[in-house]
Structure 1
Amino acid sequence: MATISSLGIGSGLDLGGLLDQLESAEREKLTPVLRQQQSYETKISAFGYLESALDKVKDAAEALSEAEDFAGVKTNLSGEALTITAGEETPVGNYEIEVTQRAKSYSIATQGIADKTEQLGGGTIGFTLGSGDTFSVTLDDADSSLEDLRDAINEADAGVVASIVNDGSGTPYRLVFSSADTGTEAAISAIDFGTGGFGDVLSLDSATEISAQNAELTVNGIAIQSQNNQVEDAIQGVTLNLEETGTATLEVTRDTAGIEKKLNTFVDTYNNLQELMSDLTGYDSASGSGGVLQGNATVRGVESRLRGLIGGSLDSDVFSSLADLGMTLELDGTLTLDEEKVEDLVANNLSDLSKLFAGVGDDSEDGFADRIESALSAMTEEDGLLENATSGLEASIESLDRRYESIESQIASTVARYRTQFSQLDSLIAQMNSTSSYLTQQFDALAAQLKQ
């Protein structure tokens, strides 16, 4: 039987359209699979949002889990004699600072020579520093110019910096020796050019000598010396950067606002988490639809664990519950913060507050914030509660992918069978139409002969 390249040509029927309709009907079998996949993917995304919210609560708890988190300070510095850098261990107090002398480095130049590239005969130059350290550089005659000597000293990196200065005279090139650091210990106490070579050409110009000096200051009347202008631990936890001579006043106070902000951040992130879980698991009676994770056992476990921690009793001799801190647990699971009560506790009971959140001693699970952080880590870390939930969903999606491919293969086979059957039908009808036309012609011819 002859084959038809385009369905319907032989029969005149819309077999191509019919085949398309049949294929569309077959592909409806994929709709439940796609819908189920989309449902699982939506749940995975929801767990991603949940993990992000849990991480934010964990970070907020971590910011309250160390005693140092309650020791923050803020500083107020008046005067231009210095700038400061203060750490959290800086004690609260007022400090009167007077800078009477800044530290300087030692410097001296040689007498000038006419050509900085001329070979000077080589030799050894020795240096002695104020600390008692010594070093020397040796150059041979072929590489003994002023430039060579400068480079050799700098490459030694032993506490002396060399440079060449042009003073504009007839013998303009001078080699300047400077101590790499400020203070008397870093000063150059002796320079020996040796005999012959360098010793015959180079000599020091005492008029260019700049003596090293230490920084001198007083803090609340106590005299302090420093080898450099960055003075550490003259005040515990504070680095003083001396800018000029003069006076300055430093006021260090407890950063209560910073502590209050950390407590506020914890409450805000916790409430955001509760609102998210409510959206994911709630039911909207108006629309008749539930949240993506409504009834999910994993989310119920998270909610139960958090309510136990937040609503339970506290391991403290001072505070029995979070309500004593001005944090009231509402029926919907969120916390309401009494800011006035928190401000009063931070101002007047900071030590007990620190012990509650950060704990005492070296026990990493001692404080309330540590327990929150540990519980949330168990939920969000690798192989944790959320990863196990999403892994199950991902496995289900992979299974649906395989099912989808199998159904598509079945649909392709069914459509191919329909196409073969329709092609055969088309050919058969075309053949029948051809036979019918032939017979009609024959009958017409026979009828014409009979009439004659």
Structure 2
Amino acid sequence: MVGITGVGSGIDIDSIVKVLVNSERAPKTAQLDRLEKTTVARISALGTFTGALNTFKTAVDSLNKASLFEARTASSSNTSVLRVTAATTAPAGNYSVQVQQLASSSKVGLQSVSGSGAATFNSGVMSISVGSTSFDVEITEGNNTLAGMRDAINEAGRSSGVSASIITDDSGSRLVLTSTKTGASNDIQVSVTEDGVTSGNNALTSQAFTPAVDPDNADAFLPPSSTTGAAGVISKAQSAKLTIDGLQLVRNTNKIDDALEGVTLDLVAAQSSADRLEGKTINLTVGVDKAGVKSNLQKFVSAYNALITTTSQLTAVVPVDGSNPVTGPLLGDSSVRNVLSALRNEMVKMSGEGGVRALADLGITTEKDGKLTLNDSALTATLDNNFDQVAGYLTGDDGLMGRLAKAVSGYVSTDGVLKQRTDALNGTKKNIDEQRKALDLRVEKIQTRLYAQYNAMDSLVGQLKRTSESLSGMLANLPGFVRKDSK
């Protein structure tokens, strides 16, 4: 509304202008609304179609990897004793393994002393060796207590994998040294040299240690004594021992990767002596990863069926009683038609060689609704009998998955058909917004012009009414003038 209108004429100018403006705006607004609705619906539909195609292409690309068919599975019949993994270089095979002994590291208890961690020692140097590795620990006035020696050993032995702790038993307190280095001949030994600089309550030489063989067991060392306080071996460093198909192996670690090509053995526990005496073995099996291939084929079938479902919804025609049918936003769309046609053409082509030349050879067939179905038993049989031929049929630029990927890539790539179409539709949507702004400006000008015209008319009518009233008054005052309505 522009000010107060219709005063002079009494005409409802606001209503007249509003009707005229709306009659000018309505057709164009309705046209833009229809165009915008259609454009937004097509943008959304193309996004849905692109998403389904990308999901399908992901499934296709997963099957078009040679590494999928090179993957190996490795299993152990007793994972509480032996665990196993296999690389792609591992040849398929079956092996019988017996784990006789695990590799372990050395742990020793040195001579005990009284006084707990505060017990003091003469100063000097402790040389601690583990196999061919050794390091020195200087004992001075600043660290000549049992606790101080523990801390000094932990600091100096960090890079060598040796740590120290204090255990107090019935005989007193002692240093316990532990190594992380496994394998036979890696037992901890300690040699000591005193320098006479600082004196303590205990001789530093009391902490010297060399493992002593147990006279009752030639394969063991004497343990520490909680009665006399003598030093001894808590656990002996030893190598892992096992047999593979009856062949003896000795290794310094429980992770063995040099016994079978491409296979890593993780020894978890040794078999019981009874099992070993009875000759019980663990079955180790290395084979191709058929389960991985089967899983990816199922994902391919699911992705293709999802694509068919999506395109069916986007191109559907739903009859409505007494009205026009409801149609999908991509009904008759050439991109949908061309993609599906290209995919179907590739899937019916015979390629490869031997017993696998079509999807049907993998147990994958097409149903009446255009979707795929997978026969698990047929697929399993093909993977068992023609695994290498499956890889040849599916992978590579000329394989089925390579051809399907190529058929889809032109549509879903960053500069593909669907991206270009979406950009064009977004351009149309932007243009609609600009047309709405232009329409608002044009209607505003029309409204301004109409108000100016009607207000001018209103002013003129008002002037004419005032003139008429003035003339009527003047005539009424003339002598002998008789009004027609006078009595």
User: Same fold per TM (> 0.5)?
Assistant: yes
- Unmatched 5+ stretches in structure 2: 209-229, 276-280
Match of residue 402 from structure 1 = 434
Q: Deviations over 1:48-83 (max 9, x none)?
A: 222222222223223322344345547462474344
Match in the other structure for 2:282? 249
Give the match for residue 178 of structure 1.
Answer: 178
Q: 253, 267, 275: which is aligned to 2:301?
A: 267
Map 1:116-155 onto structure 2 (within 5 A): 116=117, 125-130=126-131, 132-136=132-136, 146-147=147-148, 150=151, 153-154=154-155
Aligned to 1:278: 312
Query: For the structure 1 residues 190 and 436, does the alpha-carbon distance in structure 2 shift closer, same or farther, using more than 3 Å as the test?
Result: farther
Q: 2:168 matched to which residue of 1?
A: 167
Could you say if the C-alpha distance between residues 419 and 141 of structure 1 is closer, same or farther in structure 2, counting changes exceeding 3 Å?
farther
What is the deviation of 1:309? 1.7
Equivalent residue, structure 1, for 2:35? 36
Deviation sequence 1:158-217 (CA, Å, 0-9, x none): 123424325177964x44332134334765455556635699764246325532122222
Mark the CA change 1:74 to 1:224 in structure 2 (over 3 Å): closer, same or farther. Answer: closer
Indicate the larger mover: 96-105 or 193-202.
Answer: 193-202
CA distance in 2, matches of 1:332, 1:400: 39
Match 1:310 to one of 347, 353, 366: 347
Equivalent residues of 1:122, 1:141 under 8 A apart? yes
1:9/1:426 contact within 8 Å kept: yes
Secondary structure at the residue paired with 1:302? helix
Q: Which runs of 5+ in 1 are unaligned?
A: 359-363
Take 1:31 and 1:155, find their aligned partners in 2: how far apart are those partners? 86
CA distance in 2, matches of 1:318, 1:258: 21
- Aligned partners of 1:421, 1:386: CA distance in 2, in Å? 52
**Residues 412 and 183 (structure 1 numbering): CA distance in 2 closer, same or farther, change over 3 Å?**
farther
How much does 1:242 deviate? 0.9
SS of residue in 2 equivalent to 1:164:
strand
Query: In structure 2, what is the equivalent of residue 299 of structure 1?
Result: 336
Amino acid at match of 2:159: A
**Residue 288 (structure 1) aligned with residue 325 (structure 2):** yes
Between the aligned partners of 1:7 and 1:133, the Cα distance in structure 2 is 107
Would the aligned equivalents of 1:193 and 1:199 in 2 still touch at CA under 8 Å? no
Are the aligned partners of 2:76 and 2:82 in contact in 1 as well (CA < 8 Å)?
A: no
RMSD over aligned Cα atoms: 4.5
Q: C-alpha separation between the residues in 2 aligned to 1:21 and 1:196?
A: 117
Provide the residue aligned with 2:225 in structure 1.
none
Residues 343/169 of structure 1: CA separation in 2 closer, same or farther (3 Å cut): closer
Q: 1:304 to 1:168 in 2, by over 3 A?
A: same
Structure 2 length-normalised TM: 0.71
- 5 Å-filtered alignment, 1:22-61, equals 22-28=20-26, 29-61=28-60
Could you tell me which residue of structure 2 aligns to residue 385 of structure 1?
Answer: 417
Aligned 8 A contact 2:32 2:432 in 1: yes
Taking a change above 3 Å as real, the CA distance of residues 165 and 271 of structure 1, as seen in their structure-2 partners, is same
Whole-angstrom distance in 2 between the partners of 1:192 and 1:375: 78
Q: How far apart in 2 are the matches of 1:301 and 1:442?
A: 90
CA distance in structure 2 between the aligned counterparts of 1:401 and 1:74, rounded to whole angstroms = 62
Asked whether the 8 Å contact 1:90–1:237 carries over to 2, the reply is: yes
Structure of greater Rg: 2
Shift of 1:32: 2.4
**2:249 maps to which residue?**
224
Name the TM-score, length of structure 1 as normaliser.
Answer: 0.76
1:63 partner SS: helix
Kindly tell me: are residues 384 and 418 of structure 1, through their superposed partners in 2, closer, same or farther at Cα, counting changes over 3 Å? same
Q: 3-state SS of the aligned residue for 2:302?
A: helix
Q: Which moves more between the two structures, 158-167 or 201-210?
A: 201-210
Alpha-carbon distance between aligned partners in 2 of 1:440 and 1:157, rounded to the nearest angstrom: 123
Q: Distance in 1 between matches of 2:152 and 2:462?
A: 101
Question: Which residues of 2 match residues 183-198 of structure 1 at below 5 A?
Answer: 183-184=183-184, 187-190=187-190, 195-196=195-196
Q: Distance in 2 between matches of 1:91 and 1:350?
A: 14
Q: Distance in 2 between matches of 1:281 and 1:113?
A: 91
Task: Return closer, same or farther for 1:122/1:416 CA change in 2, 3 Å cut-off.
Answer: farther
Say whether 1:239 aligns with 2:276. Answer: no
**Matched residue SS, 2:54:** helix
Partners of 1:212 and 1:405 in 2: how far apart?
86
* CA distance in 2: counterparts of 1:197 and 1:370, whole angstroms: 80
- The number of residues matched between the two structures is 442
What's the counterpart of residue 99 of structure 1?
A: 99
Task: Name the counterpart of 1:361.
Answer: none
How far apart are the structure 2 equivalents of 1:330 and 1:267? 12
- 1:238-285 Cα offsets, whole Å, 9 max, x none, are 432413543663353666555434333322322322332333345456
- Distance verdict in 2 for CA 1:404–1:195, change over 3 Å: farther
